[in-house]
Each structure stands twice: as structure tokens, then as C-alpha cells.
Structure 1
């Protein structure tokens, strides 16, 4: 689908949804007011001077979005990709390419306001979600933990004082199945509980050229439980515990364009030349277990509210990679990771009715990430195991004030100070970890906003903000200077936005933005062992524009469309590392008919002016949900269309993810309009069977890539009670 066709489709669907002469019933339809916590308070989406999108869990489910990396298909400016076992969200071209132990994402992910530090734990199923909020742009004050690019906040329901629940069953092709149950209810007056459990599995969607049959199976198991204690109107406390297990072989890869060093070996095995094929001796794996325990409290005083949040998170993961994507063991690696982090935050929020409101707070974060160990294999020979560890201790204080000048003008100023200490230890020939290097850094970040409301329905805002991501050590290195600490990366943003509800059934939000991004933390590959090298790139300039339109022209029909233009380029990047394909020569022949034989060892390259990684110049999406009640029950149809222009996976812009259009849909029937009615559905994802890479990695051994899911379809059954 071309860009022009998709934009036309979005525009005409919005116009067509507006009735020329609405009936009395149709005139009652209105866009639902959405409450978000983007400024640490519950506020209307339209009053918050931030580029934020919020989508309910039901809407995501009907749009075919069932796990975090599928958020790409439903949110403006989001690209949720991965690097082996690490999941890497990008917003407006800003994200973390590294998959290092102890490193954290430049796009912060929160669950119920609790920070999720490990990138290996970000690829989870969206189980029984209330809504997902995506804040675009640096969050340097209220959500300041490394949120250079923005943040994703996944919000789950709290326990209810009356008993209720929901059960869901789904089945589809490739052996896919999922079963989930959610229960909530009271224990005694003022004390309620809930539990949520889901299990998912499939047989894989890859054709296995070595063993036959299908490969790439994925299995997950998720448990979440909460206790809500609310004895009165002034105090509440929520204790939450969760466990998430995943075992995923869907990243089993193949050479991109046939480029692998295995082509120099005769005879040549079959590697896979068509999408969704793999020919590996050992299937790749990304398995992880994440456990979390948190406590959140809120106490309301007469003029302020005191809020606290504390969490303990532990995780372990195991991954297998194959840098040449062949059935021969040429350059492989295996990692075992462990991490443990604690965080504590306290916030004091004013509640007076005066023109001035404020938030003051403090944040503490500490923990460690470890390779236990990392093992490389070269031509089948096991290398020396590497053990490394990165410890972090961080303290921050922040505050933000809002002053209202009459009914039209609102001014906001916020500041945050962060002090962080890191220590890096390693061993390979010794039996104990040896401290190798320490580093400290501090930073002041801020936000200034001016907002003007023309009336109750339309306002404009201008903001200037700064975010930063702390420097980290290279967790793959055991000696200096390779293990040196990177400099913090800093992003300054200017944004102009408008939020408008011009008609009860129409909402239009838009923004334009400019980024100045310096000391960008990047990763590359060691040409010998293909392990990660960590460094700071120079700087980039980014500009773009976004628009998001929501309509509900009549009862039963809602339409949401969005589009993003992004011009994200490296302004100065003279020392970029690239790998370029080797062609057959007399001295180094390849199999007949093969164009490439792996890559040359890395070379320095001036990437100034090149597109930033994973930054499509244009994306657009449209979703709709229509239901109609009849004597036979309620029939509904929902769909989601997402278009992305091509984007790149390397600094040279040689390896591209081609432009693609993703279409998901669902048709359903319910016994009645009662929310507790039995509901049956037929669903489909990627109806056009588009080929989309979930990752492309390049090294001296070649270019290798893995794929997102092909066309999938199935049935679902759900019941509330």
C-alpha cells in the first residue's frame, strides 16, 4: 500500500464517518474522555501538554496487539525491535541498540508506574491490560530514569470490592493457543484481591530445513496478583507480585541476501533463502524468567498527597546466538544473565485549589547485572567463559510546578538532579570477580512548558525539555580500555503541539518537534569474536511532525488514525563502524552462484548525513471498531492497518527493513450487549503476509536476520462473570 493511498484512506474514513444529517441517537455519540498519568496525576489526556497516546487493553486486543513488541502497529512513532534476547523500543528514532548486561533502554518501560530496568524483560505478553500510555519525547523530570526517548507505561487493573472475573481461550494456526483467567473480589471490608494467569504456546512459524517440520516455538507463562488495602478515603496501599516466563526460538535466523562466511566452506549446507526459513545446526533461544514484588501507597492530607512506590525485581535469562546463520558452528555464542534491582520513590503532590500546584519527589535505584557466564564458540571450539558484573547506585531529586494565569494560560517548570555511581567487575581466568573500573556522573535535566487554552475544547503548548541516559560500561569486555565507561547521552527537545476536540465526536491532536541529540551511545561488533563494542557516537539532528485523529461519529463506531513524519539523521558521525560484504575472489572462492562470502573486517566510516537506526521517515495507522446490536446478539468488526516506510539497521544504511503494511482484524459475536455475555471471535494478524524483520545483525561472519510472524488466524472465546 503506498503512502498516498494510506493517507487518503485515513482521511476519507474520518470524513465518511461524519454523518451529513445525524439522527438524535447518533448525535449522542462522543469521543470517550481518557484519563492518563503522564504527569504523575490522573488528568484528562487533552489537558496534558505532552505528546501522549493512550489505548485501552480491549482496543489493543481487538487490533491484534497481544505483546509489547506489537505496539509498533498501534502507536505513533514507535518501533519495538529486538537484538537476540533483548527487546528495544524506539520512539522518534531514539532507542538503545546495545544488549549489554547492566545497560538500560533509552525508552523507559513501566508497569503500573514501576520501572522495568532489564531489556531482557521487556518482551512480555499484554495480559488483562487496562490501558497503555506512550509518552513521546524526553521525560527528564517526573519520569527521569534514562527516558531520553520517552516511555511506555502499561497499566493493569486494581482489585475490585465485588467479585468478578474474565476467562479467555484462543487457538490458531501454527499450533497457537492461549488461555487466561482473571479473578478479583473482597476479603474483608477495605481489603480486596485479584489474580491473573495466562499461558501461551505455539509450534513455531519457521520452516526447519535441517530437521524438517516447523521451528521457532514460543511458550510463555504469566502470573500477576495484587492486594488492595483501602480502609478509608485517605489511605490506600497496593501490593503486587508477578512472575513471567518465556522460552522463544522464533529469532532463529537466516543470512540476509545469502551473505554468510559459511559460503567459503564446501560443500555448502542449505541456509534458507525464502522468508520464514532457517537452517541452523542448533536453533536459537531466548529464555527468561522475571520476578517482581512491589508496594505502592497513597495518603491524602488536607493540602497534599503523599505517594510512595518500592519494588524488587529479579531476573535470569539464557540465550543462544549464531552470527553466521548456517548449519555449521562457525561463530556462535551463549549467554547466561542474572540481574537484581531495587527502586524506591516518594512523591508529595499538592491538592489545593489555588492557581499554583506542585510535585516534589526523590528516587533511589540500585542493583546489578551479570554475565554468568558468556561463552563464544569459534569453529566449534569453546572459548574461555567470561564473567562480568555491573553495579549501579543512583539517587535523584525532582520537582515540578504549574502556575495558572486566569482561565487560559498555564506555565510549567520542572527540574531533576541525578547522581549515579557504577562499578564494573570481570573475570575469565580467575575464580573471583575483580573490580576493573568505577565511574560517577551527575546531571541536571529540566522541562519548561507554556500552554494556552482558547476554550474548553482546544489548547496549544510549547515545551523545551532535556533528558539524559547515564553512561554504562561495556559488559562484554574484560580488560581496559575496552571496558571503559561511555559518556551519558543527552537530548534537548523543542516541541509545539495542539490538542483539540472541535466536535463532540472528533478529536485532533498534533505536534511538531526538533531534537538535538549528543553523545549517542551506540554498539558495534568485535570483528574477531563478534562480541559487542560500546562507544559514543557524535551527534544528530531530528525533526518531525505527528497527528492523531479519533472519531466516534455514531454509537457503536470508533475510528482512530495517526501519521508521523520523521527526519532523523546523524549530523556528525565520522567514526562509525561498518561491515561490507566480501565478494568471491580467486584467493578466497565461494560456492558457485554465491554473491557474498561474509563481510570484511570492520572499517571506520563517516555516517554523517545517514539516517539513524530504526527511524522510518513515514508511518501511519488506522484502527476501527464497529458493533451493532440485533435480535440475534451483538455483531462487531474491528481492524487495524499500519504502514511503515523502510528503515535501516546499520550505520551505512545498507541493510534495510523494506516498507510494509500490516493488517490485523477481528469479527465477533456476543449474546447481548451485557458486558458479561459470552463472546466468540474470529481473528487474523498480518493478513497480507508481509515480510517484516524482527532483527538484523551484522558482523564479520555475515548479515543475519529473523522475521516477525507471517499470516496468522484463529478463533477466540471469552466470558466475563
Structure 2
């Protein structure tokens, strides 16, 4: 799990979740690329602050699953694939960008392999549900996960923590901020963890599985050059090595060698001969930098965001998941991109408030000198043969956008927005040293947003909206059939009605939304039939997704806070235009014939999901005791369109107990995550050898100590 530094390592104070208040603090978000009250934004938004993340032990963006209903993350090694309200991508190639876009401080993170974010220096996370294509652009059809990190402050302060947990895991974090000159401040955040004992073992080699270590560094400089001009320069680096790429069949499944897989869900049987690598693993590394300039005038705010990001990694896996060496892979991945955005935000006092901009994105991603080996590549199944391939896709995208809102009736506001995107894609694919012809593809498409909202009072708002989102097409980088024609963009039309309320003197915040999606040309990665390709992505289906979600926060009395949410999502494939191959349950059992799974539920879409947490503080003469209990429920869902491989419903529970002196500059926290040791998958990927399966974390527990100096 990338950057999985646990949130118990470093707490973040935030008034918006301070249980010592008698009411809820006002939340300001940038869901429409400008600062607005959460309750006045006509979008379904879940906001989780840094202190909420710390109190619940959330260490990476993947942990948002237990905090945001209708959000799912399928994880493997260094990356994760988010699904929101049933919308996401099943293609894990590095050139295929997620359907739920991730932004960190306004910078787009394009790669599935490295889009999991450590949360130690986070101010808040905003999860925007539904297409956000007008202001956030391509590949935000399912929504946006927007991470906002803390700005430097001139007052010197240091926050540090260290902890130890079961599975011989040590973790720690440091955050420091200070003034450098009168108008220049800087901060730095460092987080690391090392789990030295695995959750299971490889029964073939005897080695331990599911070990992991990671390091994350982020820094920021802030110049207040004048009252009107602010410059932010940020940089980050992250590294992760994980054994979660060691796949297996579900417990009891029969491998290619006729041997059943162990009952311990973390025990595996894979072995890799390629280059003598031994046990499977995933390793990723990324770094990047950004420059943001904000210039404010009487005519509005002008914003420049320039960013460059680069990532690399390697996935070593044993697809047959046995020691027979039928097939093995070593896939180095590479990616680099440059983005440039110029933005204008008009004064809010104008009759029409406008946000407009131009966005350019240049991305290249793919596999570099990848290897496939195994007995299956020899004519008589008697020699270990290795072949290589190199493939990459370069995408260039240019877009212009504008969104405006105006009061059309007393307390009634109309929002209209449009974005036009021009994109061109080109792939370079070679197999066995021979180039495979690929055409240039691309699209020119508009996306738009229409919304009307009405303020019944300052504390009760309602809205209606219609949005269109488009996810870019691309190429299959593991398609070696001879001619790769690519796959087309997919389109989502979303209709939503919502209400936002704050009641009982701001003690209760209750928001709800109903949504209806029309989803067309859905991109699905499927197993190829009669082809040398490893996987193919097709525009397979149309779907209908509808449902509702609610979230609430409640402060019944001082020092006590309750947060919760519920989602009902009903997703159904209406029509498949292509036959969809099925995955065998075992390599020794033939897969069912390809079919049209019309009427089946959309993948990774639990019909019901919910979360509930409670935090309570007890103040005494010897200090403050804090307790947090949280739980989440995920209903059953399918990993494949044919509905053959499913995740059963499950419940997760987390507990933490902390103590701090009255000055709150020191603290100790004990925590337990997955209290009941719930059994559920972190990934299940269809393959010709059966479903590649890895399991999520077992029960973990530990203790951490934190200290704060200055501030």
C-alpha cells in the first residue's frame, strides 16, 4: 500500500473537528476552485479534516473508504483504483488514468500506480461526487479526491511522533514549519514506516508475505511578496516497497499443479525465476514539484499552477501463482508529465461570478523493457522461455473552461459551465523487438455543468444539477495481437438533487443527495480470446446507476462528536455491445463461454455502505483522555461483469484511546484497527489462471507517542 504511513503517527489540529466546541465549526471548501462554505456549494461533497483522519488512524487516501460511503479502493502494491458511486476503471496499465481524479494542492495525479497519498501533513480532503469535468477536466467522471496540505506558517513549530505496532512495525513522522524571512515561510513533512514481519508466508520459499516499507517527504515554501501576490513552491518524494503483489487464488482454490491454496489468506505459493527475483513484489518511486502563483486585483484573482511529476516502479508477479513457472512477469513502469493551468476567478461581488481557465497536460506512461517468462512460452512446455516488450502512450491535452453563477431570483442561484477538451494520443508498442502499428487517436469533446440552488434560510439549501463527464480513451499497452486500434472515451451524464442543512444552533449538519447516472461506452479490461494479448480494454457496455447518499455530523454536547453516512447505490449493466470473456475459477477448470452479462450489477458497486464514528474527550486534573470508535459497513459487490467473483459484505471497526496533558503538547495513543479481524479482499483481478487475489490488512494494533514544540 503506497505511502501507508498511519494517521496515528502524526495528529493534526483542526478547529473544524475540535470536540471541545459546543457546535460544529464552519467548513470552507474549494470544490468549485474557489473558497466557499460547504453548505452553499451545489455539489455532494464529503470533507474529512486532518484531525479526523488522525483520530481514526487513517494513514493514506485508501483509508477514506471507511469514512466516505459509496467510495471503494482496489489496491495492489503501490497504487489504488478508486470507484465512487459505481464509477471507476478496471484497467491498471500506467497510461490509463483513473475515473476518479486525484488532485494534491491543485496538481493532477495521473497514474494508478502512485495515486495513493500519505496524509500526515493534510489540512483536509474533499471528496466530490459525480462528474466534475467542467472545472477539473478529463477523467473526473466519477468524481474528484482533492487533497489540501497545510501551508507554512511564520510561527516556528515542530510536531513529531513515533510508534510501534504488531507485525514488528515501526512508524514515525515529523512536521516542521518556520519563518525564513519576513515574507518567506517554509515547512517540511517526513513520514516513514517499516513492517518487518509479514502477515503470512510463502509456503514454497518459506519467506514472509505482505511486508512493506515506505517513505514520504513533502515540503513547501510560501512567499507573501505583497498583500496581493503570493507564491507557493512545493516538492515531494515518495517510495514504497510492498509484498502485496504476491497474488493467490481464494482459499481452497486449486492451482495449476493440482494443489489447493492454504486456508491462511495471507499464505501464497508463487515463485519467480525471471532474473532470479524469487518472491513477487511491487516497488514504486515518485517525485514532483509545483509552482503556484496567486495574484489578486480589484478585477479578480489570477492563478498560475505549473507542475512536473515523474514516477517509476516495477511489478514482479507470478500469474500462475504456483511453483511450476508456467508464466511470470517483470514489468517496470515509467511515467512523466507536465501540466500548466492559468485560471481567473472574478470577485464574488460581481452580478455574475466567473471562474475560467486554460489547462494543458502532456503525459507519457508505459512499460520499459518488460519481461514475460515461463514454460507456457515454449512449444513443448519443457523450457523456461523469456520474451520482452516495451510500450508507452503519450497524451497531449488542451482545454479551455468557464463556469459562472448568478442570482436569478431572491436566494436562487443559477450555475452554468462548459469545458472543451482537445486530446491526441499516440502509442509506441514493440513485442519481441518488432514494432506493432498503432494509429493516432484522440477526441474533441465538450463537458458541461448546469445547476440551480436555493437558500431557504442561511442554514437550509437545496439544489438540482446536470453534469456531463468524459473519460479519455487510449491504448492497450499489453495488446500484442498485431494491430492496436485503441479504445474510445466513455461518457457519463449525471442528474442530482440534494439538500444541505445545519440545525439546532449548528450542532447538527445533515446533507443528502439523490443521483441518476447514464453511463455509456464503458471501458472494461477483459481477458482476450485466441490472442497473444495479456489483456484488452473494450468499450463494452451501457449502464444505469442511481441511488442516494447522506452524511451527517452531530455535537450533542461539549467534547462529544458523532459523524456518519449512508449510501444506497444500484448499478446495472443495460446492454453489452461485445461478448465478455469469463475468468476461470481455477486454471484446471475451463472458463464459461463468453456472454453478454446484461442486467448484472456494475463492478465494485456495493448496494449499501455506511460509516459511523464517535469521539469523546474527558478533561481531568491529570490531563485529557480522548476516545474514538469508528465502524463501516460495505455491502457485497462483484469484481467482474459476469458476477462470478464477489466480495461478501463486511464490517470494519477501529478503536483508539489517547491521553495528553492539559497543555496538549504531548500525547500517547493506543489503537486497534480491524478489531474483529474482518476478512475481505484488497484486490481480485480476473486472469486466465483464475482470479488474482490479495487480501486487505488483518487486525493491527500499536501505540504511538507524539510531541509538539512551539506554534
What TM-score do you get using the length of structure 1 for normalisation?
A: 0.91
**From 665, 669, 676, the counterpart of 2:655:** 665
Range 201-210 or range 87-96, more displaced: 201-210
Distance 1:342 1:301, change over 3 A: same
> Separation in 1 of the partners of 2:686 and 2:20?
56
- CA offsets 1:586-608 (integer angstroms, 9 cap, x no match): xxxxxxxxxx5544257321111
- Partner of residue 376, structure 1: 372
Distance 1:257 1:651, change over 3 A: farther
Alignment partner of 1:709 out of 685, 697, 706: 697
Tell me, what secondary structure is at the counterpart of 2:23? coil
User: How many angstroms apart in 1 are the aligned matches of 2:306 and 2:569?
Assistant: 37
Whether 2:243 is the aligned partner of 1:249: answer yes
**Match among 115, 129, 146 for residue 139 of structure 2:** 146
- Which structure 2 residue ranges, 5 or more long, are not aligned? 1-18, 272-277, 376-382
How much has 1:698 moved relative to structure 2? 2.1
Matched, 1:609 2:605: no
Residue in structure 2 matched with residue 342 of structure 1 by the alignment: 338
Q: How does 1:42-53 map to 2 (within 5 A)?
A: 42-53=35-46
Structure-1 residue corresponding to 2:430: 427
Equivalence for 1:585: none
Equivalence for 1:493: 494
CA contact (8 A) 1:669 1:679 kept: yes
1:259 Cα deviation from its structure 2 partner: 3.4
Q: How many residue pairs get matched?
A: 675
CA distance in 2, matches of 1:447, 1:259: 48
Gaps of 5+ in 1: 1-25, 583-595
Look up the match of 2:507: 505
* Inter-partner Cα distance in structure 2 for 1:626 and 1:366: 48
Report SS of the residue matched to 2:249.
Answer: strand
**Are residues 85 and 628 of structure 1, via their aligned partners in 2, closer, same or farther at CA, if it must alter by over 3 Å?**
closer
Hey, what's the Cα distance between the residues in 1 that align with 2:217 and 2:356? 34
User: 2:171: which partner in 1?
Assistant: 178
Q: Distance in 2 between matches of 1:260 and 1:703?
A: 12
1:434/1:209 Cα in 2 relative to 1: closer, same or farther (>3 Å)? closer
Taking a change above 3 Å as real, the CA distance of residues 27 and 60 of structure 1, as seen in their structure-2 partners, is: closer
Give the counterpart of 1:354 among 328, 342, 350. 350
Query: 1:207 & 1:718 partners in 2: Cα distance?
Result: 33
Alpha-carbon distance, 1:86 to partner: 4.1
What is the CA-CA distance between 1:83 and the residue it aligns to? 5.0
User: What is the CA–CA distance in structure 2 between the aligned matches of 1:86 and 1:682, rounded to whole Å?
Assistant: 28
Within 5 A, what are the aligned runs for 1:505-544? 505-526=507-528, 531-544=534-547
Q: 1-side partners of 2:220 and 2:589: how far apart?
A: 51
Residue pair 2:251, 2:261 contacting (<8 A) in 1 also: no
> Residues 226, 42 of structure 1: CA spacing in aligned structure 2 closer, same or farther, 3 A cutoff?
same
Corresponding residue for residue 11 of structure 1: none
SS in 2 for 1:383: strand
In the aligned structure 2, how far is the partner of 1:206 from the partner of 1:530? 32
Deviations 1:38-91 (A, max 9, x none): 000111111111000011122112212111222111112100113565420000
Conserved? CA contact 2:651–2:678, under 8 Å: yes
Contact 1:578 1:650 in 2 (8 A): no
Pair 666,352 (structure 1): closer, same or farther in 2 beyond 3 Å:
closer
The alignment partner of 1:651 has SS state of coil
Partner of 2:3: none
State the Cα distance separating 1:479 from its structure 2 match.
5.0
Q: Which residue of 2 aligns with 1:647?
A: 637
Tell me if structure 1 keeps the 8 A contact 2:77–2:244.
no
Give yes or no for contact 1:598–1:702 (8 Å, CA) kept in 2: no
Asked if residue 571 in structure 1 is aligned to residue 574 in structure 2, the reply is yes
- Secondary structure of 1:256's counterpart equals coil
Are 1:291 and 2:292 counterparts?
no
Choose 300-309 or 380-389, whichever is displaced more: 380-389
Compute the displacement of 1:475 (Å). Answer: 0.9
Per-residue CA deviations over 1:263-308 (Å, capped at 9, x if unaligned) read: 44xxx4x632232222222432111101111001100011210011
RMSD: 1.9
Give me the whole-angstrom Cα distance separating, in 2, the residues matched to 1:95 and 1:345: 25
Asked whether 1:166 is paired with 2:159, we answer yes
Residue 229 of structure 2 corresponds to residue 235 of structure 1: yes
> Distance between the aligned counterparts of 1:598 and 1:638, measured in 2?
48
- Partners of 2:57 and 2:20 lie apart in 1 by 30
* Structure 1 residue 198 displacement after superposition: 1.1
Whole-angstrom distance in 2 between the partners of 1:464 and 1:662: 34
Tell me the secondary structure at the aligned position of residue 162 of structure 1: coil
Q: For 1:412 and 1:107, how far apart are their aligned partners in 2?
A: 23
Distance 1:220 1:145 in 2: 30
Q: 1:316 aligns with which of 292, 312, 318?
A: 312
Q: 1:88 aligns with which of 67, 81, 89?
A: 81
Q: CA deviation at 1:485?
A: 1.6
Asked if the contact 2:684/2:693 (under 8 Å) is kept, the reply is yes
Kept in 2: contact 1:447–1:463 (CA 8 A):
yes
Query: How far, CA to CA, are the matches of 1:502 and 1:92 in structure 2?
Result: 27
Please state how far the C-alpha of 1:639 moved relative to its aligned partner. 1.7
**Which of 357, 360, 363 is the matching residue for 2:359?**
363
What do the CA deviations read for 1:388-411 (whole angstroms, capped 9, x no partner)? 110111000000000013541010
In structure 1, C-alpha distance between the alignment counterparts of 2:618 and 2:644, rounded to whole Å: 49
Q: How big is the shift at 1:555?
A: 1.7
Contact kept, 8 Å, 1:425 with 1:437, in 2: the verdict is: no
Q: Is the 8 A contact 2:479 2:533 kept in 1?
A: no
SS at match of 2:519: strand
Give the Cα–Cα distance (whole angstroms) in 2 for the partners of residues 397 and 28 of structure 1.
43
- Aligned match of 1:8: none
| Shift in Å, 1:530 | 7.1
The whole-number CA distance in structure 1 between the counterparts of 2:57 and 2:312 is 29
Residue 226 of structure 1, aligned match among 220, 234, 250: 220
Name the counterpart of 2:612.
622
Indicate if the aligned counterparts of 1:323 and 1:530 stay in contact, CA closer than 8 A.
no
Output aligned runs, 1:275-290, within 5 Å.
275-281=265-271, 282-290=278-286
User: Partner residue of 2:274?
Assistant: none
Query: Contact (CA 8 Å) 1:260, 1:703: kept in 2 or not?
Result: no
Deviations 1:474-501 (A, max 9, x none): 11124543x2121110000000000000
Which residue does the alignment assign to 1:685?
673
Given that residues 70 and 84 in structure 2 are in contact (C-alpha distance below 8 angstroms), is that contact kept between their aligned partners in structure 1? Answer: yes
Residue number in structure 2 paired with 1:326:
322
Identify the residue that residue 106 of structure 1 maps to in structure 2: 99
